[in-house]
Amino acid sequence: MKDLAQGHVSLVGAGPGDPDLLTCKALARIQSADVVVYDRLVSPEILALIPADTRRIDVGKMPRCHRVPQDAINAMLVDLAREGLRVTRLKGGDPLIFGRGSEEAEDLRKAGIGVDYVPGITAAQGMAASTGVPLTHRGLATGVRYVTGHRARDGALDLDWASLACEDTTLVVYMGVANIAEISARLLANGLPPDLPVLAVASATTPRERRLVSCLGAIADDIALAGMEAPVLFVIGHVVSLYGAAVLAEALACDGAGMAAYA
């Protein structure tokens, strides 16, 4: 136990997985912490940056298996800070985009615990840089929307489907691999065309990254056949039509061995 009367919690975004995409501030928080409480989506490459003598607590959630409920995580953070510890709460992506960072901060503030945020590159931005597919592009998409494809406690996906079914907007779906059949069916029912391109990217920016190009009418079947596992990000919209050009440009920048890989 530390001698400090009160500890502090930093809610830190670990980014999409590539350690080179960490902010300097995030790395400093990781390496100066007394204890790191981390999620399942924090990549092994990021976890390797935690000093060997730093205490680690895994509170990662699996689909339909929340072995450490969110309320218990909130209480754990309060208890650790009350021991006088510097706590880094490490989350994949950004703590304020589908990361429940604000929920944890609310409980910490109620308990009188000091808390701050360290932003991270969210998965959609990492995916765009990794694949070369922009989130907006003149003539193809005038905006972008991020939505979750999974509700807490497996609740119904009560999204505003009519609003989301807009061809002028890029739709990025987080945590949607288990519900992509329902998501695509709802968007089709609300007017999006079945040939609208879709890009699915698993474990974006990491050595485990996988990509699949499909269309809205076929994405559910294609994902099932491909056996892609979470985390998978879905990009739905006309910007996906630029993917082929991005891959070709990447291939041309490679040596002969790289060209063969893209052939």
pLDDT along the chain (263 residues), means of 10: 72 97 98 97 96 96 68 96 97 93 95 97 96 96 94 74 97 94 97 96 96 96 92 96 75 44 31
Q: Which of 18, 76, 94, 175 is catalytic?
A: 175
Q: What local confidence, expressed as pLDDT, does residue 63 receive?
A: 56
Give the pLDDT score at 255.
46
Q: Cβ of 10: how many Cβ atoms within 10 Å? A: 23
Catalytic-labelled residue, pool 18, 34, 39, 94: 39
Q: Which uninterrupted H or E stretch holds 56?
A: strand 55-58
Q: How far apart are CA 81 and CA 84, in angstroms?
A: 5
Question: Any catalytic annotation for residue 259?
Answer: no
Tokens of 149: 């494809």
Q: What is the pLDDT of residue 262?
A: 31
Model pLDDT, residue 158: 87
How distant, in Å, are the alpha carbons of 15, 26, 96 from that of 113? Answer: 25, 20, 19
The backbone region for 154, taken as left when phi is positive above 0, alpha when psi lies in -120 to 50, beta otherwise, is left
Provide the strand spans (E) within 143-209. 143-148, 169-174, 197-202
Please state whether the predicted TM-score (pTM) of the whole model is above 0.85: yes
Which pLDDT value is given to residue 153?
58
The Cβ of residue 109 has, within 10 Å, a number of other Cβ atoms equal to 11
Residues 6+ apart with CB under 8 A from 153: none
All domains of the chain in start order, with CATH: 8-118 (3.40.1010.10), 123-247 (3.30.950.10)
pLDDT at 259: 31
State residue 1's pLDDT score. 43
**Which one of the listed residues 61, 79, 107, 222 is annotated catalytic?**
61
Q: What's CA 42's distance to the chain center, in Å?
A: 9
* Helix (H/G/I), strand (E/B), else coil: 49: coil
Q: Does residue 61 have an active-site annotation?
A: yes
- At 256 the pLDDT is 39
Asked about 158 being catalytic, the answer comes back as: no
